[in-house]
Structure 1
Amino acid sequence: MTGPTKKWLLAYAVAAVIFAGIDALWISTVANNQYRSQIGHLLPASFNVLGAVLFYVVYVVGIVHYGIRPNDPKATLRSRVAGAALFGFFTYATWALTAFAILKDFPAVVALTDIAWGAAVCAAVTALTALLLRLGKPQPAE
């Protein structure tokens, strides 16, 4: 396995743990209550575990690719976080605005909250991962 591949996989692993932890906290303290009160009639008794696992596996690839960029020594912390925030904004907006457009009685507040969360969580995961892996700092001249 090459150095860049190892670096990418390490960034993926770190980001996955951070994202899962932050998202679990968000879901248990904010999102679950909001979803139950606003769209409870759309929710099943229990969530689809396979769907949740697949979401996290795939989504973290996007965070690493568009935000963390572990193999881009020229990327600053600011550019990494900005890329991640945009990734989160657009991906969560895709889901939330589609739901708002096609689901009966889907509240705008849920859509807006989800979009803001997507941008914020991706930015936070990227910042924490980059800082832990010491990415985004000026590289010494070769």
Structure 2
Amino acid sequence: MNVQVKRWLLSYAVAAVIFAAVDVVWIGTVANNQYESQIGDLLAPSVNLAGAVAFYLVYVVGIVHYGIRPSHPDATMRERVTGAALFGFFTYATWALTALAVLKDFPTVVALTDIAWGVAVCSVVTWLTATLLRRMFARAGTAK
């Protein structure tokens, strides 16, 4: 396996752990309460685990590709975080604005909160992952 593939897979693994941890905190402290109070009648009685796992597996690919960019070692942190923020904005806006457009009485506050969360979580995951990887690679003598 070549170095680029190894870096990409390591970036994916680190980002997946960070994203899952940050998202669990968000869901437990903000999203569950907001969803229950604002769209409780739309919620399933329990989480579809297969759907949730599929979302995380696929979504982290986007964060790695558009944010962390392990294939572009010369990208600045600003470029990485900007790419991640845009990825988060467009992906979460797709869900939230579609829900606003097609679901009866879908609350605007939920749509706006979700979009803001998409921007924030992708930016934070990218920044944390890129910072951690930079330190790991510097210690290993393979900077960038």
TM tier, shorter chain?
over 0.9
Distance 2:38 2:60 in 1: 27
Superposition pairs of residues 83-94 of structure 1, within 5 angstroms: 83-94=83-94
Superposition pairs of residues 1-142 of structure 1, within 5 angstroms: 1-134=1-134
Deviation, structure 1 residue 123: 0.2
Q: CA RMSD in A?
A: 1.5
4+ runs deviating over 2 angstroms: none
Distance 1:112 1:36 in 2: 16
Structure richer in helix, relative to its length: 2
Distance 1:85 1:2 in 2: 29
Alignment size in residue pairs: 138
What secondary structure, in the 3-state scheme, does the structure 1 residue paired with 2:134 have?
A: coil
Superposition TM-score, scaled by structure 2 size: 0.93
What amino acid sits opposite 1:25 in the alignment?
A: V
What secondary structure, in the 3-state scheme, does the structure 2 residue paired with 1:72 have?
A: coil
Structure 1: unaligned runs, 5 residues or longer? none
Superposition TM-score, scaled by structure 1 size: 0.94
Deviation per CA, 1:49-93: give whole Å up to 9, x if none: 000000000000000000000121220001000000000000000
What amino acid sits opposite 2:100 in the alignment?
A: F
Structure 2: unaligned runs, 5 residues or longer? none
Distance 1:89 1:15 in 2: 18
